Amino acid sequence: MHLTLHADYALRVLLYLAANPDRVVSTGEVSDAYGISKHHLVRVVQGLGRHGFVEVRPGRAGGVVLARPPAEISVGQVVRHMEPDFHIVECFNGERNNCPITPACGLIGVLNEATRSFLATLDQYTLEDILRRSPRKLSAYFLKPTVDVGETG
């Protein structure tokens, strides 16, 4: 199973917001934290907003926040909404399927079962669960070192 960058980035944005719950965060800040294109993140954030995972606040002081608590955001639902499809093999896409053995293939059912199991596992976890499973506090990875202008070297 392979997630697209769009779904991967969506999960990263949500984790960033969950790790910074008490403030509005700009897409530029998230872009800098992960080293991801701001242009791409804007599209990801728009998708997250359309599906009710984040609230986008416009304006100069605007940005993005979680639309609901991390405990109410299922990882499985995020992946379902942000992943364009789960066509892990050609025959999963009826319009583009050119596989000559599709009518007799037993693999399709096995791969469908595996995909359902993958999503069922993700459904067991929320953003809050992911934050709790982190061996270190995730927000510490996003802190930029500050320089004390009063120090002399």
For the domain that residue 59 is a member of, what is the CATH number? Answer: 1.10.10.10
Residue showing tokens 């998230």: 30
Residue 121, domain member (yes or no) = yes
Position of tokens 């954030």?
45
With respect to residue 124, please indicate whether it lies within any of the assigned structural domains.
Answer: yes
Q: What is the pLDDT of residue 12?
A: 95
The pLDDT assigned to 143 comes to 52
In a domain, 150, yes or no: no
- Percent helix, strand and coil across the chain, each to the nearest 5: 55, 5, 40
What kind and span of H or E run contains 64? strand 63-66
Q: Identify whether 58 is part of a domain.
A: yes
**Residue span of the structural domain in which 22 resides:** 5-140
- From first to last of its 153 residues, the chain has per-residue pLDDT tens of 788 999 999 999 999 999 998 899 999 999 999 999 999 999 999 999 999 999 999 888 889 999 999 999 999 999 999 998 887 777 777 788 888 877 888 888 898 899 999 999 999 999 999 988 875 666 656 654 444 444 444
b/e code 120-148 from CB counts within 10 Å (16+ = b)? eebeeebbeebbeeeeeeeeeebeeeeee
Would 20 be classed as within a structural domain? yes
Residue 145 placed within a domain: no
Q: What is the pTM of this model?
A: 0.82
- Does 54 fall in a domain? yes
Residue 151 resides in a domain: no
Number of domains in the chain: 1
